Amino acid sequence: MVHRHARTARRAGLGALGALSALVLAALPANAGAEPAPTAGPVPGAAQTLGADRPSPQLLSALQRDLKLTPAQASERLVNEAEAGTRAGRLRNALGERFAGAWVRGTTAKELTVATTDSDDVPVIEAEGATAMVVKRPLAELTAAKEKLDAAAGRVKTLETPVWYVDVAKNRVMVQATSLAAGAAFIKAAGLQAEDVGIRATKDRPRLLKDITGGDAFYINDSARCSVGFSVTKGAQPGFVTAGHCGRAGDTTTGYDRTAQGSFQASTFPGEDMAWVATNAQWTPTPGVKAQDSQEVQVTGSVQALVGASVCRSGSTTGWHCGTIQQHDTSVTYPEGRVDGLTRTTVCAEPGDSGGPYLAGSQAQGVTSGGSGDCTAGGTTYYQPVNAILGDFGLTLTTAAAQATSPAPQDGTTQQWTEGRVYEAGTTVVRDGVRYQCLQTHQAQSTWAPAGTPALWQRL
């Protein structure tokens, strides 16, 4: 795994870096009974609502370097990605059980593709300015197939089939295996047919990048080092999130300067790769994430990005690097155990970057888990979605746009829109007597009430 430390607020520069918000599967099928007609064309103001039109210089610089973009292309890409997320959410809600996924592509992410299982939906998709793709399997079917692989992984060893995921662009579930025979055996154990699952044979094996070196860091039990992800609060208690493999509940931490910092309150690994640390009064949570040249990017929310969108990572070994999202809801088998629900990216990472934050624009995406390759030859890296961390541990992400509030219970029964609750795409809420449907997975903030945030909510 990769370890990266959050810079604690250094008065006049001291402050704990961190925030959490786990990513859940971007393309969850909408309720088949709710099929509101979409409004033609991009939603006005969607990008401005999410702050994509005001990127930091550090973000633009890294996108230019890692995605080989000009300054104008980098700026245009961020705006296009933000608008695409809103349009994809509206189409997800409109298509319901026929929805088969959405992704962006192109140098500036100008092309949004939305898949459906019904050719009659093509005009509806094109009316939203998206490219339609008619496919065989709805997203719900793909997700069900992956869940069978998840269940099989509890019965058979998966060291020779370390990665499996839903590939929405290919409309199929994929298994990464060390050989075709190993992949075929895993598929058979799951009770799936060979034609239902693709196999990618490769000798690459994801591993936890444990060797922590350089950059801002925090220390666990005065020995191991990891990286801070994002600042969070739980009620009045400040802290930060990081990777679960970095420490266990009860482990103590010291900051980058070796002064007392806090302790792990909860940690899950394997299964998931998430943890949070409660900090003492000397450490102040901030929305900052370390970028290039000791600069910071300010986190403004946790809106989950689409497949194909650009994403940047900060780590104590390799610093600030960018790439694109390949798949959500990926299962990975490390030598230490299996982790489900990760997001697969083209961002490079090396030992020492674990636990560090991933951002899409100014939106928190997750914390670094592990991967393969390096930042010289390139590689594949996985992150634990932050919205899942926030929901599981009852945490509130520290952002530049909102005051910290206590999150609402994540029991799935609340119908009233509530600050602090993590809402998944397709969820229906009531606010001031009006019903709205969620377009993009995110944690609710006071400044993002449904009526004023068309990028995130559709009025029904």
| Residue numbers annotated as active site | 245, 273, 354
Asked whether the beta carbons of 166 and 143 are under 8 A apart, the reply is yes
CA 297 – CA 291 distance, rounded (Å): 6
Would you list the DSSP string of 247-305? Answer: --TT-EEE-TTSSEEEEEEEEE-SBS-EEEEEE-TT--EESEEE-GGG-EEEP-B-PPP
What is the enclosing helix (H) or strand (E) of 89? helix 71-95
Asked whether the beta carbons of 33 and 304 are under 8 A apart, the reply is no
Asked whether the beta carbons of 419 and 408 are under 8 A apart, the reply is yes
Measured distance between the N- and C-terminal CA atoms of the chain, rounded to whole angstroms? 43
Amino acid occupying residue 121: D
Q: Identify which of 78, 79, 81, 46 has the alpha carbon closest to the alpha carbon of residue 62.
A: 78
CA 366 – CA 386 distance, rounded (Å): 4
CA 371 – CA 101 distance, rounded (Å): 25
CA 95 – CA 439 distance, rounded (Å): 13
Burial class (CB in 10 A: 0-12, 13-18, 19+), 424: middle
